[in-house]
Chain A
């Protein structure tokens, strides 16, 4: 008891022990781009779900900032519609009313000084009502060209710091367009904010399965002994989508598959899969380890890119039984576009643990099915004491981590087929989240918004990490940008991808079936 009393006197909060839901300081959250698609589909519903569960801070104020000129009431109506349409649970009218009744809206262009002056007034008003300065979180859910503008204006308006309260800024993806632009954006943000205030979001890191990757590796003695070049033959990371670009030609033409998924999500998966064990699950310890392994991935020289990377575009085909157009026929797409809708890479990690192990990454749109998985293939057994005639035979063990659609882990094993002969075929030992836990996984944005308000950067990307990520793909982007001769290879919509990707795999290796 004395120790506990001592904790309170020393400034620790003795009441938080044993609580599943840790307190968050009273906070004002400002969403720049509050009327945009991300806010509409993800952020506002996520905030409602946090409110429903009682997870928001005891005092929570919300402000939307966007160009559209409209009163507070109209923004509240938009927010209400977002929640009613996209929340993962049916809204409780009292909670929803409580969340939205005091929401404020500040209209104006993001480069207009008056927006920040008005925003400052609103935030000070919240502080006065609370009788204390509330923590401030500025969530940049805008087009990326506005990130440095908003940061600079917040700084100029004196909103980047607040005495006796924390100020944080959350930056959505894409964080930069290439290595140079990412470095520039980092520098621009760091002119105004300290690194500890900046939360670069990659919503993949908020997914339960991605976090479970760390639990699988570091909470189980079973896997770590084989998690190295001595036992692992190769790794395939797949992020396949069965849909096309929809109405996002404007974004996608400027991005492509490499920027859209490989540079961020897939390389993050690779880093978590291959990093050394952190000494603690704490932001900088974890990010130090990710950075080390990312820096061990040697970027290709521009003239080596064609040997380790493949790009392609989907052609017309059949998806879900329906004929669909090719990428070049999609509305808004340049008929001569060289934007890739499929990218596959072979990467090597130059360190003791992984030297010589190829890592194959592939992503694409309009593929046969929606699937995100990591497949770790072990080396074959060194000697087989029995023949496997009359069966598919002994296959190397695989550990497959599925991120979507069915989150879980599968371990493939060789097992004897019942009968008089010693015939072997692969069987699966499966763990599925849906069958082993009662709880429903929260949306990634719920976890990440809460972490940002709490100041926990563990699941966010640090400045040096983001530059390391861009450093890996930058030579590939350069090579592809310079190579404009002829059309890109094509793959039929609804297929497993282009045949050209097969040449990345050496020897007997094959891409896993989608």
Chain B
């Protein structure tokens, strides 16, 4: 990958935009096969001291790069804008064309955030979808850009308090489309649960479930709540706040008509963020367990006097892949996240309890 770079201290948004345009023009004139990609603007607001770490995470998203990334690095005490614009491209195009990627870093001070729209607006490509990601907080940036952003990327699992993370997501959902990495960590599990009940003779079991047990990494409670919230919203369960149970766990009951559904969330040690396993059962003795395993999920099914185990194939996406998926999801719309989030919020224990669990357990979300 080759790069053309421009940088300037104490610069202006207009100068940055003009430099980008000139870099693109020059590169296309030198090689007509290199063309600007026009997919998505991604605005990332970070602490300047952590911008390298975020840049590394963005490097690992695989093929799902935004076409123009604007990284706003906030530094205490800074009053001027320093900027660096980079055009990345692969000159080994062959007979075809190759898209250039545009990356802008702007160092700014906290005082700039209130009027961030006046800095960012000239720099983004105006007719594209625009997504914002604030992994280090700085939510005033979202407020400032509210009129120009279409999508907010966040991670409900980032908040030490899962309830607060989910409430924050719900608040943002009222003003923009939200892509939640905690939700995306549940995707393979939702797909596999949907798949497990796809055969016509199996679907009736969905209306007879009496127990769900979700195992998750400590710090991924929001993902677990979203998974239960999804089932509740899709299957018409009434839910109420869960209560602490065991070490970092939660327990409670959902209802569907006269039927009660036991809900258990268990925090467990595991390397990868997200979920570690799910078990759903019926009173009649049917039970399906999906557990994280190498090369996919390990499935175990019991009931009707039988016990079976098999592997469900699928490569782990890793956290880089999850972030890449989050970027890709900016172009899509999932109508089931909102209802799942609402049920997940209803499942959250009372705030004081979660806070207590958090402080006593020492984990990010009270585990």
Contacts and interface: CB of A to CB of B under 8 A. Distances in A.
Interface string B297-317: 001010010101011111110
Interface stretch (A7-15, A117-125, A378-386): A7-15
B182 to A, nearest CB: 16
Given A8-B235, A94-B294, A405 B96 contact: yes
Interface in A213-231: none
Given A129-B308, A435-B99, A23 B314 contact: no
10 contacts: A1-B233, A9-B204, A15-B194, A19-B194, A54-B188, A54-B315, A435-B37, A435-B39, A438-B63, A438-B64
A131 B199 CA distance: 13
A130 B309 CA distance: 9
Contacts of B37: 434-436
A2 interface: yes
B314 A53 contact: yes
B257 to A, nearest CB: 8
A161 interface: no
Given A54-B192, A58-B299, 16 more contacts: A4-B234, A5-B207, A5-B235, A5-B236, A9-B204, A9-B207, A12-B203, A23-B195, A51-B314, A54-B296, A57-B195, A58-B310, A405-B95, A435-B67, A436-B37, A439-B328
B295 A1 contact: no
A436 B198 CA distance: 34
Report the contact-size class of chain A (Cβ under 8 Å from the partner): 35 or more
Contacts of B238: 1
A450 to B, nearest CB: 13
B310 A11 contact: no
A406 B66 CA distance: 20
Interface stretch (B44-52, B168-176, B331-339, B357-365): B331-339
Interface string A10-40: 0111111111110111100000000000000
Contact of B313 (A19, A23, A24, A98): A98
Nearest to A164: B201
Given A15-B193, A54-B191, A95 B314 contact: yes
Instruction: Describe A's contact surface by its main secondary structure.
Output: loop
Contact of A1 (B35, B236, B306): B236
Contacts of A405: 95-96
A432 interface: yes
Interface string A475-497: 00000000000000000000000
B196 interface: yes
A99 interface: yes
| Shortest Cβ-Cβ A-B pairs, 7 listed | A94-B295, A54-B314, A18-B336, A1-B236, A23-B198, A15-B194, A23-B195
B311 A20 contact: no
Interface in A426-445: 432, 434-440
A16 B308 contact: no
Interface string B175-201: 000000000000010111111111111
A265 interface: no
B36 to A, nearest CB: 7
A438 B335 contact: no
Interface of B: 35-40, 63-67, 95-99, 188, 190-201, 203-204, 206-207, 231, 233-238, 256-257, 294-296, 299, 301, 304, 306, 308, 310-316, 327-328, 331-332, 334-337
Contact of B35 (A5, A370, A435, A438): A435
Contacts of A335: none
Contacts of A132: 199, 201
Instruction: Describe B's contact surface by its main secondary structure.
Output: mixed
A51 B306 CA distance: 27
A291 interface: no
B97 A434 contact: yes
Interface string A363-383: 000000110000000000000
Given A18-B336, A52-B314, A58 B99 contact: no
A439 B64 contact: yes
Most chain A C-beta atoms within 10 Å of own C-beta, residue among B66, B196, B236, B257 = B236
Contacts of B192: 54, 58
A97 interface: yes
A18 B332 CA distance: 10
Contact of A99 (B233, B235, B304, B313): B313
B63 A440 contact: yes
Given A13-B197, A54-B312, A434 B96 contact: yes
Interface in A262-315: none
A60 interface: yes
Contact of A24 (B99, B195, B200, B327): B195
A14 to B, nearest CB: 5
Interface in A37-64: 51-54, 56-60
A334 interface: no
A306 B256 CA distance: 73
A195 interface: no
A437 B39 contact: yes
B97 to A, nearest CB: 5
A448 to B, nearest CB: 19
B306 A131 contact: yes
A166 to B, nearest CB: 11
Nearest to B324: A438
Given A23-B195, A406-B96, A438-B64, A98 B35 contact: no
Nearest to B329: A20
B328 A438 contact: yes
A20 B195 CA distance: 12
Contacts of B63: 438-440
B117 to A, nearest CB: 25
Contacts of A99: 313
